[in-house]
Structure 1
Amino acid sequence: MLRTIIAGLRARTARLVLSSIAIALGVAFVTGTLVLGDAMNASLRDEFARSARNVDAAVTLSGTTDARGLTPQQLDAIRRAPGVAGADPRNSAPVPLIAANGKARQAYATPLATTPELREYDLDQGRYPDADDEIAVDARTAESAKLTLGQSVELLGEDESRRSYTLVGTYTQGGSEIAMMGGDHLVLTPTAFTGFSRDELPYEVVVAAAPGVSQQQLVDDVRAAVGADGLSFRTGEEMTRAQLAQISSQAGEFTAVLLAFALIALVVASMVIYNTFTILIAQRTRELALMRCVGASRGQVFRGVLAEAVVMGLVASVIGLLGGLGVSALLQKVINSFNGGSGEVLLPVAGTTVLAAFAVGTVVTVLAAVLPARRATRVAPVAALRSQLDSGEEVARTGVLRVLTAVLLTAVGVGAIAYGLSLNGDEVAAYISGAGTMALLGAVLVLGPLLVGPVNRVLGALPRALLGVPAKLASANAGRNPKRTAATTAALMIGVTIVSLVTVVANSARETANAQVDERMPADYTVTSSVWDRPLPEELADRLAAVPQVAEVAPTTTVYADRAYFTGIGREALGSLFRPVVVSGSLDDLVDGTVALRQEYAEEQGLAVGSTLVVKGMGGGEQSLRVVAVATGNRLADGVMTLETSRRFERTAEGYESIMIKLRDGAGDGRAAIEAITDASPLAVLDSAAETKEQLSEQLDQVLAFIWALIGLAVVIALFGIANTLTLSVLERTRESALLRALGLTKGQLRLMLVVESILMALMGAAIGLALGVGFGWVINRAVSSDDVSIDLVVPFGQLGVMLLAAVVAAVLAAALPARRAARTSVIAGIAEA
């Protein structure tokens, strides 16, 4: 039996290798994701290790204190403690950096640590600053801002005053808390830093131990010297462990998303393998029957088929493991491109990754081959006496179990969707409704053989009318074995369903976001600050209002309160540049000392018109405000008050959050006139609704392209499945094709028949997938919609049409080799085949 299995593998090497490509692609995705996760862990460990290196003790504020940071007195006490070789504060301050265009960029400055060993960054070029008029910047900042050593760098001080520094060095930093803030980063001397840090206190003090002092002893000495009230103490080892736990969490979340797409690819690949073995078993009916005749038992036949699956799985695992390294390198290149192209490509191959590759490749292949292998054991020895050209499975043989399974999945799916839609935009609603759509997808997969006939007749009508006999034969071939055709098209249907679902949801979100932009930005232009903690000067609004082309100017403020924030706006803008939908009360009553609340916030707080809301500002101050209206609209934040009311809170005492501008009718040169004012301010950034929409579209397109690329692998695997099915079908129908040739069918017509058959199978999967994707997209849109934001269904017919066309083109390519092989087969040899 072993010799028979080996001989069979040699005879079918080409078929098995072609079939193993599907599994190899799935394994490559899985192993690539695992290697990427290990690479991210290694990279993040290196990044975060810099913030903990040489640190023997760390002192931070505990969660029970209201202090804003560690005081200079506490820092001095730490430095004087026994066993301390050096101690430095970890702190940052927002220090806007003036870019080449004259506008300020969000940047954060840190003081240069006086103890070199405690610096959480490495020198890249030049040196660190020695004088108060010198500066060093992060290497990424230098690259993005086009800064070079020796160049003068301007920072924005208070009242938009500019301070010049000489760039003396660049550095690379790890994954510290400061680095995670984003923006630009720079280092100043402690004295120069004090000029920007105002009253801000360090969030942490790191300590290096003197020789011979253990970390625990150092912590005890520092605690005794500074006191434990309101402070938390950690050894360097504890600090490192905490950061490594954070690393594992961050990398794990990202790789979990990628593994979800890898799982989809594997499911599709397993369906291809299942279909492949089903066809192979059908083609080998006489061979298996002869084996039974000469004494092979059912168990030996079963084990023989599984042995072929094991070999196929092992080959696919080797190919997939090597391909996974390339997938990981490609993904790292894509990720690094978001950081300006910086970052090293790492390819760590752990033993668990290798084991996972072989386990996934082999186990999935064997599991996919179990049912066909069981079917092989049912081949009766008497089948050796006759020729069976096709498996002969018909829709009429669809079992009761299949129908009951489909009914159960449909009931579960409809129930989950109905329950998810009843949650009214709750976060859980999307997950529950999404699970319901996947249950309905499973029901369609189970009912696939029943759908093949009707769908094939509809899709085949046009080719039959235009292309004649070859198309009629192709349509008949596509529908002659519904179970096989359903299994072939199911893989493509899954991929197209998910792709179209994501595309519909993304485009619906885009249109909704654009509508929200129109609602939130009824003004022609909006001026905002390029630095989040620097408000726009009040005189800027006055200068803009004096521009002849400007009809109306409406400045806004933001009041940050405890777990809420409110918009301040002038009464003159109500109804023109600020148009929320009033649910109850009236905005005419919005005067000093009153507030209008967003409906959702009012319901959460149990407030209504006439209630009193106590607002505690984050910067100090507490006001009791009477609720005069409840409204909806994103521009509201959690509520809206007049500018006069917002001025009572410390953080909004001076300056504006934004300035909305409405132009006069026919003011064609309005933007140029406005820019003449805003260009003079390094903080003022001019934006329009059209520009905001364009930015949103670009971001959404990037996300959509990334998801398309991930799920695209499943579609590629599905197309390999169609090619594989056609190739095996050509071998199965060798005699039939020869008879058609003998009856007058030309080589070109035979090739056309196979191409049309491939297109029909691809269109079946794509058409059903598109219909499901659009329907599921509507479900998800409804599930995530709320009273504030309703996401309407937007079907991107252009994108879906391109997807359908791509499926047709891919189907033509998939049929190229099988059609060529069929046309080259000799008519006499084909007829003579038993």
Structure 2
Amino acid sequence: MLRATLAGIRARMMRLLLSSVAIVLGVAFVSGTLVLGDAMDAETKDNFARDTRNVDVVVNIDGDVPEGQPRMFTPEQVDAVRRVSGVASAEGREFVLVPMVHGNGRAKPAAGVPMVRDTKLLPVDLKDGRFPQRDDEVTLDERTAKNDKISVGQQVEFVDKAEQRRKFTVVGVYQRGVQASSLYLADQFIATSASLRSLNPEGAKGAYEIVVAGAAGVSQADLAKRVQDSFGKPYVKATTGEEATRKALESYSKQASSLTTFMLTFAVIALVVAAMVIYNTFTILIAQRTRELALLRCVGADRGQLFGSVLLEAVVMGLVASVVGLAGGVGTAAALQLGVNAMTDSDSAVRVPVTATTVLAALGVGVVVTVLSAVLPARRATRVAPIAALRSQPDSQEEVARTGKLRIAAIALLTLLGGGLIAMGMKAEGDAAMMIVGGGTMVLLLAVVALGPMIVGPINRVLGVLPGALFGVPAKLASANAGRNPKRTAATTAALMIGVTIVSLVTVVATSTKQAGNEAIDKQFPVDYTVTSAMYDRQLPTSLVDALRRVDGVEKVSPGASVQVKLGETYASVDGVTRDAIGSLVRPTTNEGDLGKLGGDTVALLEKTAKAQNLKVGDTVTVSVLDREGGETRKQQLKVVAIYHGRELPEAMVDLGTATRMNPARAGYDQIMVDMRDGVDPVAGKEALEKALASVPTAEVSSAADVKADLNKNIDTALAVVWALLGLAVVIALFGIANTLSLSVLERTRESALLRALGLTKGQLRLMLLVESVLMALMGAILGVALGVGFAWALTSSLSGADITLNLVVPYGQIGVMLLVALVAAMAAAVLPARRAARTSVVSAMAAD
């Protein structure tokens, strides 16, 4: 029996290889994701190794700091660590935010790292030149130098606290590690401590950690205890360099695993689609081998041997596909790294770590998915009776059997469960609503997949009307072929339907979110331009208000300021706005009270803030202003005069004069809103404002259009990523259509020959198969779009609330393009099967069994 099975595999090798493409793609996705995750992990470990290189002890503030005690390490504390027995050298790690002027003349924040005594404790690798020695020299981070096209010997400009530009000479370029100053900012440089203090005197708050190198012969554990004892404070923790590295890597691993899980989610979707394709393939192959299996039964093969024979074919197919898919995954991971390096102008090495886990996962997933997909067809093979060997044609009528009661019961159960979950999710709030409704949509999707054999017939007849009218007999034959075997057609189209459903769902939800966000921006801040500071710790000078009012075309200018406070028992941001801006430039939706009453000792609260504090209009709340270190300073009693709601709004609003009195140390503004007269060209208006701001490089102009453009760009980028990840599932489904057609051509060899003998031309035969492919693709795509839009409506409805209203917005253009691509791909999938059918000799085909 084994020899017969192996001989059968050799005879059908090309057919099985073509069928295994779906598994190859799925395994490539899984293995590529795992290899990419391992590569990222290895890269980060190298960066962390640089961060803790030559470091024996790391000192951090980890715990509750008593009031009045510094939350950063002072220079005196760093010096004290240097005097501890066994310490060879110690340095405080800190960074100062400084505005760096770029090619367009505007400044952006850059992290300035002070030069240290012991350069071995710097978490960087010097790539060119040297470190700064004078106060007018800097060494740039490699990424910063590449982005601004700056080389050693050139000059860069920074802006000091007085908004004056100062030039520095670049004396070196370095590659950084992973540290606090590099995780959040793209630009970084090293300068002397004196130059950093002169650029931003208030920015040097102290060191966020102290790194220590021990003397020869002193163990890390011993040295850490000595340093810990020297502080004698429970909130100061000294850990060994090895322990600090381990903790940092554990923290990163959680983030990296989230990305890998995200990618693997799409890999699972692709594998589900691939499993459906493989299931359909084996179902067709079993139907076509009815006589062969019956003959094996006649010569003594029992049911167990037939079952094992089919599963052995599945194992061989899965193994071959897994090996090819693993190789494809490695190549994909390398290509992705090359692409990221090209986009970010990075020279990071391309890593393709193929671990035993990745190999086992690829082989296991490929083989298991293939074998599980073949189980039901293999069981069907055991039911072939020996009498079937006497039939002249393969008998595939079992697949057209009536829908069983079990299927109908399963459909009813899934529909009730999915509908119940969606109804429950509609009543929930926040993330819970999204998760419950999302689960309900997936259950309903399974119900539609199970319902497929019952609905493809009517859908096929409707879709076949137009092609039949346009192309005559060949198209009518195609429609009849597509509806001949409902279970087979349903299984073929279901794979495409799943992919298109998820793509449509994500696209519609993203488009609806985009429109809702744009409408919220227009509604809450109907202002043409907003001027802000590129540096969060630098306010805009008050003189800018008059300068902006003098700009031609400006109708209204309204400054604003923010104050960080402790409001009741929670920390909050309070925005100070001018009274004339309320209702015109600032228009939150008021729940109760009157925003026009702001002024003096009054405050308006965001609805969530009021609920959290159990406050209502007329109540009085204690507000404590926070200093730079987060400590409470001035306290004030404010009366609540209004409660409002909306997204992206501050926790509280007060009159601008009140905000100034609350924090008199801050003499400038955090933002200035500008409204232009009707008819002013938006581009010209922005250019005029930027010209008026030329004396303040840190001031930057944004408009509602800019904010919306950023929002739309972020959503479109995320959507493009999802489309790319889901695209593989759609590609696998299209391969399934091509595979079904190819196998159907073999199955209908005599039938095609008879049609040719009756007068059907080669061109008409090709047209028939082309239309059949298009009809199957249309069925899957149309069902997918309908389900995707319906599920999107359920999600957007569940996510709508008081803060934002998500109206269903269907992007007909994008949906249309997706349908067109599916049709073109379906026609391409039909090319080879149609060509094979047309080239087959009529005489030899009529003689085929």
Q: Normalising TM by the smaller chain, what interval? A: over 0.9
One-letter code aligned to 1:631: Y
Deviations 1:787-821 (A, max 9, x none): 11111111000100010011110010000000011
Structure 2 distance, partners of 1:667, 1:763, is 49
Give, in angstroms, the shift of residue 197 of structure 1.
5.1
1:464–1:471 CA contact under 8 A, matched in 2:
yes
Counterpart position of 2:158: 155
Counterpart position of 1:10: 10
User: Which stretch of the first structure deviates more once superposed, 700-709 or 287-296?
Assistant: 700-709
Counterpart position of 2:654: 641
Any unmatched runs of 5+ in structure 1? none
Counterpart position of 2:608: 600
1:463–1:471 CA contact under 8 A, matched in 2:
yes
Counterpart position of 1:710: 725
Please say if 1:673 is aligned against 2:688.
Answer: yes
Structure 2 distance, partners of 1:22, 1:531, is 52
Counterpart position of 1:71: 74
Structure 1 distance, partners of 2:532, 2:746, is 68
Report the secondary structure of 2:674's partner residue.
Answer: strand
Counterpart position of 2:483: 479
Give, in angstroms, the shift of residue 732 of structure 1.
0.3
One-letter code aligned to 1:73: E
One-letter code aligned to 2:266: F
2:577 paired residue among 551, 569, 580: 569
1:429–1:784 CA contact under 8 A, matched in 2:
yes
Please say if 1:457 is aligned against 2:461.
Answer: yes
1:338–1:68: structure 2 CA closer, same or farther, 3 Å change rule? farther
Structure 2 distance, partners of 1:772, 1:712, is 18
Give, in angstroms, the shift of residue 215 of structure 1.
0.6
Counterpart position of 2:630: none
Give, in angstroms, the shift of residue 75 of structure 1.
1.3
Structure 1 distance, partners of 2:234, 2:314, is 67
Give, in angstroms, the shift of residue 93 of structure 1.
1.2
Deviations 1:154-182 (A, max 9, x none): 21111212232111011111111221022
Any unmatched runs of 5+ in structure 2? 628-632
Matches within 5 A, 1:293-332: 293-332=298-337
Matches within 5 A, 1:231-630: 231-337=236-342, 339-393=344-398, 397-424=402-429, 426-562=430-566, 563-619=571-627, 620-630=633-643
Please say if 1:763 is aligned against 2:816.
Answer: no
1:184 paired residue among 187, 193, 201: 187
Report the secondary structure of 1:636's partner residue.
Answer: coil
Report the secondary structure of 2:543's partner residue.
Answer: helix
One-letter code aligned to 2:10: R
TM-score (norm 1): 0.98
1:393–1:483 CA contact under 8 A, matched in 2:
no
Give, in angstroms, the shift of residue 538 of structure 1.
1.1
1:516–1:341: structure 2 CA closer, same or farther, 3 Å change rule? farther
2:315–2:371 CA contact under 8 A, matched in 1:
yes
Counterpart position of 2:235: 230
Structure 2 distance, partners of 1:153, 1:81, is 40
2:140–2:173 CA contact under 8 A, matched in 1:
yes
Structure 1 distance, partners of 2:755, 2:135, is 90
User: Which stretch of the first structure deviates more once superposed, 286-295 or 561-570?
Assistant: 561-570
One-letter code aligned to 1:72: P
Structure 2 distance, partners of 1:410, 1:761, is 24
User: Which stretch of the first structure deviates more once superposed, 333-342 or 71-80?
Assistant: 333-342
Identity %: 55
**Number of paired residues?**
833
User: Which stretch of the first structure deviates more once superposed, 705-714 or 674-683?
Assistant: 674-683
Counterpart position of 1:662: 675
Structure 2 distance, partners of 1:685, 1:775, is 43
Deviations 1:401-432 (A, max 9, x none): 111111221122111111212123x1221111
Counterpart position of 2:29: 29
Matches within 5 A, 1:723-734: 723-734=738-749
User: Which stretch of the first structure deviates more once superposed, 661-670 or 750-759?
Assistant: 661-670
Give, in angstroms, the shift of residue 635 of structure 1.
5.8
1:558–1:652 CA contact under 8 A, matched in 2:
no
Report the secondary structure of 1:440's partner residue.
Answer: helix
1:58–1:234 CA contact under 8 A, matched in 2:
yes
Counterpart position of 2:810: 795
Deviations 1:541-581 (A, max 9, x none): 12112334211101111222343212210001112111222
Structure 1 distance, partners of 2:637, 2:234, is 35
1:93–1:197 CA contact under 8 A, matched in 2:
no
1:55–1:651: structure 2 CA closer, same or farther, 3 Å change rule? farther
2:290–2:395 CA contact under 8 A, matched in 1:
no
Report the secondary structure of 2:216's partner residue.
Answer: coil
Structure 1 distance, partners of 2:57, 2:685, is 59
2:289–2:394 CA contact under 8 A, matched in 1:
no
1:110 paired residue among 91, 99, 113: 113
Deviations 1:573-611 (A, max 9, x none): 112111222211112211121111122222222111111
Counterpart position of 1:42: 42
Matches within 5 A, 1:77-96: 77-96=80-99
Counterpart position of 2:175: 172
1:306–1:373 CA contact under 8 A, matched in 2:
yes
1:442–1:651: structure 2 CA closer, same or farther, 3 Å change rule? farther
Structure 1 distance, partners of 2:91, 2:182, is 17
1:336–1:533: structure 2 CA closer, same or farther, 3 Å change rule? farther
TM-score (norm 2): 0.96
One-letter code aligned to 2:596: D
Structure 2 distance, partners of 1:683, 1:651, is 22
1:544–1:677 CA contact under 8 A, matched in 2:
yes
One-letter code aligned to 1:760: L
User: Which stretch of the first structure deviates more once superposed, 98-107 or 197-206?
Assistant: 197-206
Report the secondary structure of 1:166's partner residue.
Answer: strand
1:59–1:164: structure 2 CA closer, same or farther, 3 Å change rule? same
1:748 paired residue among 763, 776, 788: 763
One-letter code aligned to 1:610: G
Counterpart position of 1:814: 829
One-letter code aligned to 1:431: M
Task: Compute the RMSD of aligned alpha carbons.
Answer: 1.6
Give, in angstroms, the shift of residue 398 of structure 1.
1.2
User: Which stretch of the first structure deviates more once superposed, 15-24 or 513-522?
Assistant: 513-522
Give, in angstroms, the shift of residue 644 of structure 1.
1.0
Counterpart position of 1:824: 839
One-letter code aligned to 2:813: G
User: Which stretch of the first structure deviates more once superposed, 198-207 or 668-677?
Assistant: 668-677
Structure 2 distance, partners of 1:462, 1:480, is 19
Report the secondary structure of 1:95's partner residue.
Answer: strand
Give, in angstroms, the shift of residue 395 of structure 1.
5.9
1:398–1:388: structure 2 CA closer, same or farther, 3 Å change rule? farther
Give, in angstroms, the shift of residue 639 of structure 1.
2.0
Structure 1 distance, partners of 2:179, 2:208, is 12
One-letter code aligned to 1:514: N
Structure 1 distance, partners of 2:502, 2:17, is 28
Report the secondary structure of 1:447's partner residue.
Answer: helix
One-letter code aligned to 1:453: G
Structure 2 distance, partners of 1:718, 1:547, is 59
